[in-house]
Amino acid sequence: MKRHLHLLLFLVLGVVSCAQSIPDVLEKYNDHTVEYITVASLDTLNTPMLLDARELEEFEVSHLDHALWVGYTNFNVETVQEMVPDKKTPLVVYCSLGVRSEEIGKQLKKAGYTNVKNLYGGIFEWKNQGRPVYDQNQQQTEKVHAFSKYWGRFLTNAEKVYANKSNTHGQ
């Protein structure tokens, strides 16, 4: 009996220590150089430009309404400067959780944009709160590209779509 209790305690502690939340991930990977904006606060922002900092494959599965795809791996700040010449324009950058979007936000700030925010929890938090997303045909969808099974565990309120890659930890 005592052995079973020890085993149970070990399993419970193991699960609890492995459990992470979106705040844990953002604390671990981000340096907070780009101000966060919450999903709820985004509603109060006056016509922000939404920039999707995920890969094109992710964007095509679903994205926030009227978001512009800027990508991550092949991000080019000059492309944004052509699309958004006024550097005072409110920009909200998002990705899956908020890690890649912070990196893109840093580049935008370095390029002189003065009103850049990072969507806290990204499209995962957006969808977890029951907000709508749209596919490449601008049709509402329940699908969200979950990037990988490792990161997909943070997406709890959508149909998860995975790439054909075997990527397990990149974000």
What is the tens place of the pLDDT at every residue in 36-74? 999 999 988 888 999 999 999 999 999 999 999 999 999
Q: Residue 164 has what pLDDT?
A: 57
What is the pTM for the complete model shown?
0.84
Residue 85 lies in a domain: yes
CATH classification of the domain holding 125: 3.40.250.10
Residue 147 lies in a domain: yes
Residue 103 lies in a domain: yes
Residue 15 lies in a domain: no
Residue 4 lies in a domain: no
Residue 62 lies in a domain: yes
Give me the domain span that covers residue 103: 22-161
Residue 70 lies in a domain: yes
Q: Looking at the 3D structure of the chain, how many domains does it have?
A: 1
Distance CA 15, CA 114 (A): 42
Residue 14 lies in a domain: no
Read off the pLDDT of residues 66-124 as tens digits, 9 standing for 90 and up: 999 999 999 999 999 999 999 999 999 999 999 999 999 999 999 999 999 999 999 99
> Is residue 7 predicted with pLDDT exceeding 50?
no
Supply the DSSP string of 30-94, one letter for each residue. Answer: ----S-EE-HHHHTTSSSPEEEE-S-HHHHHH-B-TTPEE--STT--HHHHHHH---TTS-EEEE
